[in-house]
Structure formats: structure tokens, C-alpha cells
Amino acid sequence: MPYTKLTPEERRERAQAAHAELTGALESLMTADGWRAMIQAGAWMRRYTLANLMMIIRQCPDATDVRPLREWNKTGRRVRKGERGIRIWAPRMKRAEEEETSGSGESGDPAQRMLAGFLLVSVFDIAQTEGAPLAEPADAPRPERLTGEAVPGLWEALAVQVRALGFEVERGDCGLAMGRTEFAARTVRVRPDVDPAQAVKTLAHELAHILCDHENRDVPRELKEVEAESVACVVAAACGMGTLAYSVPYVAGWAGDLETVKDSAKRVLAVANRVLTDLDLPAQQAA
């Protein structure tokens, strides 16, 4: 089933909804406990979209391992009676027959499934369960290079925005960095030895440096990196790509002071909204 293009109105509505969800979680996120929960989350947080992660942290700031009931049952642990679930959004799928029928009058594959909307479901933190102990969680993660494919068309859609701002896009050596923006030379470079998913996220990061006016704003390097990576994370998530394994440790490492992140929130949301509004991509079926 082919994707359909989002209209400008639909795209703005999606961005506004994502921003509203993020804004509602900021207060709990901008605390030492909230950041610690995000950083220590490690593997479990990568199974959730950015919007759902925000919902989890807002409802349960001390969460350390969040899974659906059936997954806890598989580990041998059971959710304690009376525990209240953490509510997140899950895609609701339905069967869809092909619009066209064959010459014999038989319809297409009835098992084809399509997105019919979203519904609230419950997940539970390990603190709400009892049973055999699990393996100790890993230490707070370092940024993990993203692997695999990117959202189709996202690289070129971002590159179009970079070029419209007067910068050339190229792949080449960036030293130890994933990407580099040279304001004097008007170039944006992404290293060539990474998978498409990492390359696209990095391109969004470098685009954010330009849109956040990091060429002219006299602000610390730490704030520039926090803003750029936060924008990249929000944009990627809205397009159906999870970058939290890379972005959360990266932002936390640069931020140091939680007020740095809080003070940049308004600019991050505005720039992310601008990038998403200008994207020309198929609709992504992601919760």
C-alpha cells in the first residue's frame, strides 16, 4: 500500500502535537531525577518513540525498565496486583483488502494490514513487578552510532533545506566528529563511513546548527551542541526514526547544567517545527 503525502495542515498539526507532548514533559525531564532516568534507561528506552518516552518519564520519572505485561510475563516476573499501568500510544492496525479485484472477482490479500489510528495501552516499570531478578542494567550508555537504513527521501529533503540556506552538502573526512559545518566555506560535511540512519541524523544536526544561527549567536559551544542534537532528535522521531540511543547520552554529556537544556527548549521546538514544516516526505506510520 503506497504512502500518501501529508498536507501542510496535517504536517503542522503533527508537529504541534509532538511539541505539546514534549512541552508537557519538560518539567519532569528538567530535574536531576528525570535526566538520570533517561540516561540510565539504556536499552529499554530505544523501543519507544520520543513522544511515548516523554509520556513514560512524565508519569513515572524513576522508571528504569518499562515493558508491556506480556513481556514481563516472559521474563518470569509478574506485575503486582493493583499496580496502575503507564499509558502510552500504540498503533491500531486493521485488515484492508485491495481496492481492485482480480478478473475472477476474487479480492486481494485480506491479510494486508494498514494503520487505522492509535490507542492508549498500558506498560509497566520493573518496580511494579515481582519475581526472579533480571540481569543488572548496563552503565549509563555512551552515544551509540545508529545503524541501518534511514527514512526514504529524508536525506535529500534535509539536503534541500541546507542548500537553500546557501551551504553545499558533501561527504568526507570529519576527524572524530560525525559531521561538520564550516560557516566560512559554506559547507556541511557528513562522514562517509556511517550507515544511512546515522548520516541522516547527523545532517539534521548540522542543519540545526545553521537554523539556530550558531554562526552569529555568541553562546557557549555546549549550548550549540545541546540545541543541534535536540532538534535532530525531535525531527528524526517525528519522521519515524529512533535516535535516542545516540541523542540522549550526547545531549546529557554536553548539557552538564540542566538549566542549559531548559533555556534552549523554546528555540529547539521552533527550529524543529521549521524543519518538519519544510520537509516533503511520505506520511510515516509510526507511533
Model confidence at 105, in pLDDT bands (50, 70, 90)? very low
Whether 4 has a pLDDT exceeding 80, the answer reads no
Residue 28: C-alpha distances to residues 62, 96, 99, 184, 201 (Å): 10, 41, 47, 40, 26
Distance in angstroms (rounded) separating the CA atoms of residues 287 and 272? 18
Do the Cβ atoms of 278 and 223 come closer than 8 Å?
A: no
Question: Rounded to an integer, what distance in angstroms lies between the CA atom of residue 184 and that of residue 169?
Answer: 14
Q: What is the pLDDT of residue 68?
A: 93
Strands 66-67, 78-79: pairing kind: unpaired
Q: Which amino acid is at 16?
A: Q
Residue 98 — very low, low, confident or very high, per pLDDT cuts 50/70/90?
Answer: very low
H/E stretch holding 40: helix 32-40
> Residue 8 is inside which H or E element, if any?
helix 8-29
pTM summary value: 0.56
Give the best-scoring range by mean pLDDT among 92-106, 120-134, 224-238, 252-266: 120-134
Q: Is the pLDDT of residue 56 over 80?
A: yes
Assign 138 a pLDDT band (cuts: 50, 70, 90): very low
Res 252 pLDDT > 80:
no
